């Protein structure tokens, strides 16, 4: 199958416009339409319907999309692998990051990596934890960052970095001037919670369970799917929350929120880097897998582990 036809199909599908796809690919619209028609004839299906609002994928077109993306990714990876045999590190590196704390560490390490290997085209794909694993297995990403260990036998993981999770309160909260509080006191306060797939939430509930405190005992005021938003809501005086120290660092330095110790509670979590065990050779991801623990990155990986 002609890869060019697959590229044309993807461009048309993603733009929902023949004219826009033709512009992106530097083709005339009739030439692009002809290539799509040839692909439809080859596959013996209709891939698009046309309407006043533009192109719309048929059921067959929807089914083809993930396969088409995988074909393009695999083709590019094959080309890059051949180029890398000349000892030049080139190609795409796609990393799915589902850990909110990972957003603070990964970009800097990746920037350092790209500075050493300027021919690398790196992409951080923000996603939910389940999506990170799905994208890895489907070939959409080469590596994944998750906040809990994976149990899938087709994947392998290594520790990326550790971070701490702490209770934060508004700067003018009565607890802000106390050395510590008892775990039971949390039941009195409106709590800002992360979403149910969050690694922070999982660690928090596991630790509070040691004090016979369950989800149903908490006075949940709001559930938010973003760590930075949680910190801003706490700073606004709407409640208290458990968040990664990395996420609250900026507003703590500004004095808008305060970290409060909870007696007997020590919330730490390990963030993992994950990859497929039997993936095709891909030098950028293989080299980056080892690079994250290079001596030059010690400042990032260990600063937040105390």
- CATH number of the domain enclosing 260: 3.40.190.10
- Predicted local confidence at residue 59, as pLDDT: 92
* Tokens representing residue 11 in the block: 């461009």
- Is the domain of 39 the same as that of 80? no
- Is the domain of 187 the same as that of 255? yes
Burial class (CB in 10 A: 0-12, 13-18, 19+), 208: buried
- Is the domain of 156 the same as that of 172? no
- Is the domain of 130 the same as that of 94? yes
Q: Are 293 and 211 in contact (CB under 8 A)?
A: no
- Predicted local confidence at residue 163, as pLDDT: 87
Full pLDDT tens readout for the chain, 306 residues: 688 899 999 999 989 888 888 888 888 989 999 999 999 999 999 999 987 777 889 999 999 998 888 888 888 777 766 666 555 677 899 999 987 777 888 999 999 999 988 989 999 998 887 888 899 888 889 999 988 888 888 999 999 988 899 999 999 999 999 999 999 999 999 999 998 888 889 899 999 999 999 999 999 999 998 889 999 999 999 999 999 999 999 999 999 999 999 999 989 888 899 999 887 778 889 999 999 988 888 888 765 544
Q: How many CB atoms lie within 10 A of CB 150?
A: 17
- Is the domain of 142 the same as that of 92? yes
Backbone angles phi, psi at 57, to 5 degrees: -70, 140
- Is the domain of 114 the same as that of 147? yes
Number of domains composing the chain: 3
The C-alpha atoms of residue 63 and residue 16 are separated, in whole angstroms, by 16
Count Cβ neighbours within 10 Å for each residue of 218-237 and write b for 16 or more, e otherwise: beeeeebeebeebbbbbbee
Structure-token match 């300027």, residue found: 118
- Is the domain of 99 the same as that of 115? yes
- Is the domain of 156 the same as that of 226? no
Q: Is 0.85 surpassed by the pTM of this model?
A: no
Q: What is the CATH number of the domain that holds 47?
A: 1.10.10.10
The C-alpha atoms of residue 47 and residue 37 are separated, in whole angstroms, by 9
Which of 54, 72, 90 finishes a domain? 72
- Is the domain of 283 the same as that of 134? yes
- Is the domain of 148 the same as that of 277? yes
CA dihedral 105, 106, 107, 109 (to 10 degrees): 90
- Is the domain of 35 the same as that of 81? no
- Is the domain of 128 the same as that of 181? no
Which of 23, 56, 72 finishes a domain? 72
* Tokens representing residue 278 in the block: 């039997």
In sequence order, the 6+-apart residues with CB closer than 8 A to the CB of 235 are 170, 171, 251, 256, 257
Q: Are 94 and 141 in contact (CB under 8 A)?
A: yes
The residue range of the domain holding 200 is 162-269
- Predicted local confidence at residue 306, as pLDDT: 41
Which of 72, 104, 121 finishes a domain? 72
The C-alpha atoms of residue 88 and residue 70 are separated, in whole angstroms, by 24
């Amino acid at each position: 199958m002609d890869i060019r036809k697959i590229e044309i199909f993807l461009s048309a599908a993603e733009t929902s416009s023949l004219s826009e796809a033709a512009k992106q690919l530097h083709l005339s619209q009739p030439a692009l339409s002809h290539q799509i028609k040839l692909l439809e004839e080859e596959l013996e299906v209709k891939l698009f319907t046309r309407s006043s609002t533009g192109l719309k994928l048929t059921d067959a077109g929807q089914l083809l999309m993930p396969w088409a993306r995988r074909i393009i990714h695999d083709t590019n990876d094959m080309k890059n692998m051949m180029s890398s045999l000349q000892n030049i590190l080139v190609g795409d590196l796609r990393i799915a990051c589902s850990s909110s704390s990972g957003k603070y560490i990964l970009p800097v390490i990746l920037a350092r990596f790209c500075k050493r290997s300027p021919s690398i085209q790196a992409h951080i794909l923000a996603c939910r934890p389940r999506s990170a694993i799905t994208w890895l297995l489907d070939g959409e990403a080469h590596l994944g960052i998750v906040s809990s260990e994976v149990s899938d036998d087709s994947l392998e993981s290594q520790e990326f970095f550790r971070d701490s999770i702490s209770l934060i309160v508004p700067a003018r909260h009565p607890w802000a001037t106390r050395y510590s509080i008892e775990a039971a006191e949390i039941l009195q306060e409106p709590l800002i919670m992360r979403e149910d797939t969050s690694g922070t939430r999982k660690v928090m509930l596991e630790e509070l369970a040691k004090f016979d405190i369950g989800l149903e005992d908490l006075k949940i005021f709001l559930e938010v799917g973003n760590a930075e938003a949680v910190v801003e809501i706490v700073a606004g005086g709407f409640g208290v929350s458990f968040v990664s120290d990395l996420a609250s660092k900026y507003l703590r330095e500004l004095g808008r929120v305060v970290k409060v110790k909870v007696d007997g509670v020590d919330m730490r979590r390990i963030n993992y880097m994950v990859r497929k065990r039997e993936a095709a050779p891909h030098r950028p991801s293989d080299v980056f897998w080892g690079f994250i623990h290079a001596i030059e990155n010690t400042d990032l990986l260990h600063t937040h582990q105390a």
